[in-house]
Amino acid sequence: MRTLGVVDTNVVVSGLVSPAEGAPPQRILNAMLAAELGFALSVELIAEYRGVLLRPGIMALHGLGEAEVDAILQRLALEAVEVDPEPIAVPHGVEPGDEHVARLALALPACVLITGDRALAAAMSGACEVRTAAEAQRLLAPAP
């Protein structure tokens, strides 16, 4: 059974705005775009990616226009395994804004939740494997 990543929005956003070449979130995002990391998406998660990436403050950081953001999201959608998670209960401590991410992770029999959100990571530990972007990047091929 293939393990899939569920990549939280904070990792995708950090991957686009990080000025440090080869920073862990950037490596995760690049691996997603290059189909080097298997990952799952739901309609709700890709919508969240879009909503956050198009916030004026975030757009000022990454410098991309709406069409460029949409092109990146289309590439991600093409590479992802689309999952429509059931409305199941999530572990205690998962904040309401993160319930869709938790449900997506719980819908997969073999999953690694990749997040920089400490509260979400703590709430989901024990329910699924949880890694930071720095930890998850070790699963990728070595950086050139």
pTM for the whole structure: 0.94
How high is the pLDDT of residue 25?
96
What are the pLDDT tens digits along the chain (144 aa)?
568 999 999 999 999 999 888 899 999 999 999 999 999 999 999 999 999 999 999 999 999 999 999 999 999 999 999 999 999 999 999 999 999 999 999 999 889 999 999 999 999 999 999 999 999 988 776 655
All residues at 6 or more sequence positions from 98 whose CB lies less than 8 Å from its CB, including other chains: 8, 117, 119, 120, 123
DSSP string, 46-100: HHHHHHHHTSHHHHHHH---HHHHHHHHHHHHHHSEE---------TT--GGGHH
Distance between CA 5 and CA 131 in Å, rounded?
10
Query: Position of tokens 């530990």?
Result: 125
How high is the pLDDT of residue 21?
86
Longest CA span, the chain: 42
Q: Report CA-CA distances (Å) from 14 to 54, 65, 110.
A: 14, 17, 25
How high is the pLDDT of residue 56?
97
How high is the pLDDT of residue 144?
54
How high is the pLDDT of residue 43?
97
